[in-house]
Structure 1
Amino acid sequence: MASQEGPHLQQVDLTKLSLPQLTQLRQQLDQELTVFQDSLQTLKIAQQKFQDSGDCLEKITPKAEGNPILVPLTGSDIDSAKDYFKRKVNYVTEQMEKIQTLGLEKSKIRDAVMDVMEMKFQAQLQLQEAAASAAAAKS
């Protein structure tokens, strides 16, 4: 029996991660987002091909009788072929929507990671400046 649950995500307090850990997390998110973009591009091409194939079926009318056409070697008629391509376009569109949703979630996480990295970097700079000021005051 297949589980309907998505992957279990562990919540992590980003402020407790070090800068190197945050950098590694950001790089991982960047890679995942690249995979999502590549997947969306591939699905978009498939969606267009199915749409084009379905559109081609619209040209098969009684007026086209006697003209040569290429026909796939299947037992389906035009109506079932139209239904097939419509279902494929709908399926691919659903998959694209799922990937877009995941991509938006990953982008939000990446933005949060970048915000925490900036906050930690600024805090580190302030500590260095304070240390430099204290050292200068002692001299």
Structure 2
Amino acid sequence: MNERLAILVWAADPDSPQLCATPFHFAAAAAAMDAEVEMYFTARSVQLLLPGVAETLHPGGHEAPPLSHFLLEAVRYGTRLYACPSAMQAHGVKPENLRAEVCGQAGAAAFIGRTLDPAWRTLTF
């Protein structure tokens, strides 16, 4: 059976870049281990899915790689990224402005569906 992991990202926000890389590290690690991985971005974390935002954030300080490095690594391993429609509306994020790597929109019902499905494990950041 293929392992499955759904990650809820809500506390990683552009104003706290030091909190932003960890969800992508976990997603990349799980995907590299052949798990099916989905990341659900809600609250202010949805802003990380706007083009240019992840490129300007440096979770480990300005000498470290930008957040976009970790985001793209997770995607390269097969992680799927989803933006919460309610969070998008609350933070003025339009669907047509999302990064090309975003698979679509999925909110609370989609993530809760994963948490209630015994085939999926979940993490929250």
Give the TM-score, by structure 2 length.
Answer: 0.23
Q: Which has the larger radius of gyration?
A: 1
Give the TM-score, by structure 1 length.
Answer: 0.21
Normalized per residue, the structure richer in helix is 1
